[in-house]
Amino acid sequence: MFQAMINSLISLFLCISLGYICRRTKALNDEVTSGLSGLLINVTLPCTIFISLMREFSLNLLLGSLASFVASAAMYLFGLLIAIPIAKLLRATPSEKAVWQFALMFPNVGYTGFPVMNALYGADGLIYTSMSNVAFNFLVFTIGARIFTHGAPEAAGAKDGIRRVLVKPALIMTFIGFVFFIFSLRLPSPIEDGISLVSAMTTPLSMIVVGSLLAKSNLKSIFMGWKMYAIIFARLIMIPLATLLAIKPVSPDPILTAIVVLLAAMPVASLTVIFAEEYHGDSELASRMIFMSTLLMIATLPFIYMFL
C-alpha cells in the first residue's frame, strides 16, 4: 500500500510542479486556467466516470456497489455535518467557510482514491470505488455547488437549480455508465479507446490547475495557517476513524469496509479548487489545502489502515 501511495503521490506532485512552473513562466494565466477548469468539469471528468462504470455485470458487485454508494453518501454528508460547527468554532470568513465545508465533505476519490484502491484491491475494488464516485458526483454537483453559492435559493429557483444539476455532463454520464454496467454493454473499441484517452487527461489537468493556482501565492504562505491544519486533521484523521466506527459493526464485507474508510481518508478533493475558481471563491486557500493534505496523506493513510 505504501508503495502504491508513493507512486501516486510522485505522479501528482510532478503535475502540480508543472502547473506551478507554467504559471511562473507565464505559459499559463488566469484565462487559460479558468478554461482548463471548465474542460475538467464538463468533458474529461464525465469521461472518467463513464469509463469506470464500463464493466461486466455481477450481482454480487451490484449489491456491494449499492452498499458502497449508500455508505459513501453517508460519509460525505457526515463530513459536511461536522464542518458546520468547526467553521463556527474557528470563526471562518465566508470564503473560508465555503472552502472548509467543501474540503471536509469531499475527499479526493477520483484522482487519488482510484489508483490507491486499484493497487490494493484490484478490479473488484474499483467497482466499489466507482460507486463511491457516483455518490460523490451526485452530491458534488448538488450540495457542493450550493456550498459555494452560499445556500439554497427560493423554491422556484431551487427547481431551476435541480434542473441544471440533472443536465450536468458528469451526472448524465454517471447514469449512462450505470446502464452500460447493468446490461454489460460495451462501445466499439475505437470509441471506447477515444473516451479512455480523454479520461486519462483528468488527473494531470486537475493537478496542473492546482499548481497554476498555487503559483499565485507566496511560496512561504503555502505552509502557513494553523486553521488550515486543523481542517486537514479533521479530513485525514477524524472523518475516516468516525466512518470506521460507524460502518464496521454493520458491514458484512471487509473489503467494502476498508474501501469506504480508506476513501474517507483521502486528501481534499481536487474539485475544491475547480469549484472555488468557477464560483469565484478562495481558490488560493483551496489550492494550499489540496497540496498540504495530499502531502500529509503519506503519513496518515497507513495510520488509518492499521485500524482496519
Query: Domains of the chain (ranges plus CATH)?
Result: 2-24+39-306 (1.20.1530.20)
Among 40, 22, 52, 4, which residue's Cα sits nearest to residue 204?
A: 40
Q: What is the pLDDT of residue 150?
A: 67
> Given phi > 0 = left and psi -120 to 50 = alpha, else beta, which region is 93?
beta
Number of residues that this document lists for the chain: 308
User: Do 145 and 19 contact (CB within 8 A), yes or no?
Assistant: no
How many whole angstroms separate alpha carbon 289 and alpha carbon 156? 35
**Residue 107: beta bridge partners?**
268
Give per-residue burial for 194-209: e unless 16+ CB within 10 Å, then b: ebeebbebbbbbbbbb
Give the model's pLDDT for residue 83: 92
Per-residue HEC secondary structure of 103-125 comes to HHHCECHHHHHHHHHHHHHHHHH
**CA atoms 100, 101, 105, 110: torsion sign:** negative
3 state SS of 131: helix
Integer Cα distance of 24 and 14 in angstroms: 15
Distance of alpha carbon 308 from the chain centroid: 22
Residues 6 or more apart whose CB falls under 8 angstroms from that of 18 comprise 207, 208, 211
Number of H helices, E strands in the chain: 16, 0
- Reading the block at residue 285, the C-alpha cell is 486557500
Cβ(145)–Cβ(280) below 8 Å: no
The predicted pLDDT at position 110 comes to 72
Q: For residue range 253-293, what is the model confidence (pLDDT) as tens digits?
A: 888 999 999 999 999 998 888 888 777 788 888 888 988 88
Q: What is the pLDDT of residue 211?
A: 82
Per-residue pLDDT of the chain (308 residues; tens, 9 = 90+): 667 667 777 777 888 889 989 999 999 998 898 888 888 878 987 888 788 778 778 787 788 888 999 999 999 999 999 998 998 898 888 888 999 999 999 998 876 787 778 777 776 777 788 788 888 878 887 788 888 876 433 333 444 455 555 667 877 887 898 899 888 899 999 999 999 999 888 878 888 887 887 787 666 667 778 889 999 999 999 999 999 999 988 888 888 999 999 999 999 998 888 888 777 788 888 888 988 888 888 789 888 888 87
Q: What is the pLDDT of residue 163?
A: 58
C-alpha–C-alpha distance, residues 161 and 138, integer Å? 13
pLDDT for the residue numbered 154:
37
Q: How do residues 213-259 score in pLDDT, each as one tens digit?
A: 778 766 666 777 888 999 999 999 999 999 999 998 888 888 899 99
Question: Which cell is 29 given?
Answer: 494565466
C-alpha to C-alpha distance for 75 and 66, rounded to whole angstroms: 14
